[in-house]
Amino acid sequence: MVDEIGMQFLSSHGKTKSGNDVIFSWLARYQNAAAAGADAVNGTIGALLEDNGELAINTVVDSALREAPPVEFAAYAPLKGLPPFLDLAQTLALGEYRQSLETLGVNGMATASPGGSGALFLAASNFCERGEAILLRDRHWGPYAGFLKGCGLEMATYPLLPSNENTHYPMFDSEAFSTELERLATSQSTVMTWLNDPAHNPTGLSLPSESRYALLNLFMESATRHEDVGHTLLIDSAYHLYADEPHGWAETILEALENGLPWPENLLICFAVSLSKSHTIYGLRTGALVCIHPEEETLEKLREVMGVTGRQTWSAAPRVAQYVLSEMHASESGGASWSLERDRLANLLVERRETFVKACTELKVPVNPTHDGFFAWYECDDPVAVAEKCAEMHVYLVPLRGGVRIGLCAIPLHQIPKVAQALKSAHQ
């Protein structure tokens, strides 16, 4: 342990940064077991692997990157991002519903960021007053806490799933959400909620349309009642292009407007877009924050604010993937080829998930509802004990608050039954 006397150069908030990333520590345990010759299962990481254990790479994207002009690798991007990429980011967020939303007067803007994490930082640093709380589900991606703490923000939560007595909407505790939303709206000058949907990390849960609509309606009603309180609904869409309804939120927003729900002036809806998973370019750190609102004056101010924030934090986001992907998707053949390869990778996840759920059902292992994306979830009171029990069978998973994350994205199909067996052993 470093002597505190010798650490005067660290600020008080710097000294609070400690500990090791739980995901990478359990990955290291898997790697050590595999190196020792064990038939080990890697359910730790959040990257998609082929069934042979190699990193899955969309070959269409890879080929396009290798053909990019040298200047696109070497040059800076504009501070807010390349304009064609910013247009692409809006389309990736809204899909086929973008034009209909624009017809109804809801327009968008985007700011390029270093991955989806950069988009989350843009939101955390600008849409909530320091000292206030952001509303999250109680099961969420662990680094959220670090983003919030780094921006001087607190955390408020509501349950991931409703109790048996509260089943008005599938997989959405509307009463708990409404109660917590009202508490924040009456005690803060801003309200923001982050919702990783569809294909939630760490559970793989996706909200159905009626639950999306209920949540949006509650948020709109709150903004209408508290007109002096800024309301920001942020959809973390890191995994959405692997979901059955990749643009379900855009569809729900359109449905609400077509049903006559008014868009309050103090409501902003954002999408944190990541191309890491959808285009298998994790290390190129390419993403965007997409914001939609009916007022162009509001969007123009957001362009300025987000551009300045990026400039003061990371300068400009990396250029080459912005260029390559906007060119690729502008081509009908390029976009179609990418989509076919994306579908192949998505089918790996579908087959693994179906096999996992079937095996757990047969073994009576009570895993949580899981629908899309990279992960599944085992809820439990002592996640470390469960993970340790699984590790005895050389199945390495990630213990998090409230449960254990199963990285289906990394587990070869033939090893999936072994994961269910390990959870069965831990469950007994």
pLDDT tens digits for range 214-241? 999 999 999 999 999 999 999 999 999 9
Q: What is the mean pLDDT of residues 70-74?
A: 97
Residue 372: phi, psi to the nearest 5?
-145, 165
Q: Is residue 139 part of a domain?
A: yes
Q: What is the pLDDT of residues 172-205, one digit of tens each?
A: 999 999 999 999 999 999 999 999 999 999 999 9
Question: Is residue 239 domain-shared with residue 293, that is, in the same domain?
Answer: yes
Looking at the structure, do residues 310 and 378 belong to the same domain, yes or no?
A: no
Same domain for 83 and 213: yes
238 in the same domain as 138: yes
**5 band by pLDDT with thresholds 50, 70 and 90:** low
pLDDT, position 158: 97
Evaluate whether residue 290 is within a structural domain: yes
> 63 lies in a domain?
no
| Pair (287, 372) in one structural domain | no
Kindly indicate the confidence band of residue 256, based on its pLDDT and cuts at 50, 70 and 90. very high
Q: Give the pLDDT of residue 16.
A: 76
Domain around 53: 4-57+336-427
Higher pLDDT, 66 or 20: 66
- pLDDT for residue 289 is more than 60: yes
Assess if residue 176 is contained within a domain: yes
pLDDT of residue 21: 81
pLDDT for position 9: 75
* Proportion of the chain above pLDDT 70, given as a percent: 97
> In the prediction, which pLDDT does 303 show?
97
> Residue 11 sits in a domain of what CATH number?
3.90.1150.10
Q: Which residue has the tokens 């809806």?
A: 269
> Are 282 and 423 part of one and the same domain?
no
pLDDT-based confidence at 167, cuts 50/70/90? low
Report yes or no on 67 lying in a domain: no
HSE at residue 390, side-chain half, CA atoms within 13 A, is 33
Do both 254 and 345 map to the same domain?
no
Q: Does 392 map to a domain?
A: yes
Does residue 259 sit within a domain?
yes
Residues in CB range of 203: below 8 A, 6 or more apart:
139, 160, 368, 369, 370, 375, 376, 377, 405
The pLDDT of residue 15: 73
Calculate mean pLDDT across residues 82-88. Answer: 98
Structure tokens at 381: 């009171």
pLDDT band at 60 (very low <50, low <70, confident <90, very high): very high
Asked, for residue 386, whether it belongs to a domain, the answer is yes
Out of 161-170, 183-192, 282-291, 410-419, least confident range: 161-170
Q: How many domains are there within the chain?
A: 2
Averaged over 68-97, what is the pLDDT? 97
Contact status, residue 112 vs residue 139, Cβ threshold 8 Å: no
pLDDT at 4 (0 to 100): 60
307 and 165 within one domain? yes
For position 127, which CATH number holds? 3.40.640.10
Q: pLDDT at position 80, please?
A: 97
Task: Please give the mean pLDDT across all residues of the chain.
Answer: 95
Q: Give 17's pLDDT tier (boundaries 50, 70, 90).
A: confident
Encode pLDDT of 359-373 as tens digits: 999 999 999 999 999
What's the confidence (pLDDT) of residue 166? 57
Alpha-carbon distances, residue 343 vs 244, 316, 350 (angstroms): 11, 31, 10
> What value does the mean pLDDT take over residues 405-418?
98
Q: Are residue 39 and residue 84 in the same domain, yes or no? A: no
pLDDT in tens, 121-156: 999 999 999 999 999 999 999 999 999 999 999 999
| Structure confidence at residue 163 (pLDDT) | 82
State the pLDDT at residue 2.
52
Q: Who's near 248: CB < 8 A, 6+ residues apart?
A: 198, 206, 207, 209, 212
Judged against a pLDDT cut of 80, whether residue 270 lies above it is answered with yes
**Same-domain check for residues 181 and 266:** yes
SS3 readout for the chain: CCCHHHHCCCCHHHHCCCCCCHHHHHHHHHHHHHHCCCCCEECCCCCCECCCCCECCCHHHHHHHHCCCHHHHHCCCCCCCCHHHHHHHHHHHHHHHHHHHHHCCCEEEEEEECHHHHHHHHHHCCCCCCCCEEEEECCCCCCHHHHHHHCCCEEEEECCCCCCCCCCECCECHHHHHHHHHHHHCCCCEEEEEEECCCCCCCCCCCCHHHHHHHHHHHHHHHHHCCCCEEEEEEECCCHHHCCCCCHHHHHHHHHHHCCCCCCCCEEEEEEEECCCCCCCHHHCCEEEEEEECCHHHHHHHHHHHHHHHHHHCCCCCCHHHHHHHHHHHCHHHHHHHHHHHHHHHHHHHHHHHHHHHHHHHCCCCCCCCCCCCCEEEECCCHHHHHHHHHCCCEECEEECCEEEECHHHCCHHHHHHHHHHHHHHHC
Contacts 24+ apart (CB under 8 A), 384-391: 385/426, 386/423, 386/426, 386/427, 387/26, 389/422, 389/425, 389/426, 390/419, 390/422, 390/423, 390/425, 390/426, 391/29, 391/33
192, two tokens: 């923001």
Together in a domain, 279 and 132: yes
Among the candidates 291, 318, 345, a domain finishes at: 318
Q: Kindly list the distances between the CA atom of residue 269 and the CA atoms of 192, 235, 300, 327, 330, in Å, as whole numbers in the listed order.
A: 10, 8, 15, 27, 26
What angle, 0 to 180 degrees and rounded to 10, lies between the N-to-C axes of helices 416-427 and 332-362? 40
144 and 15 part of one domain: no
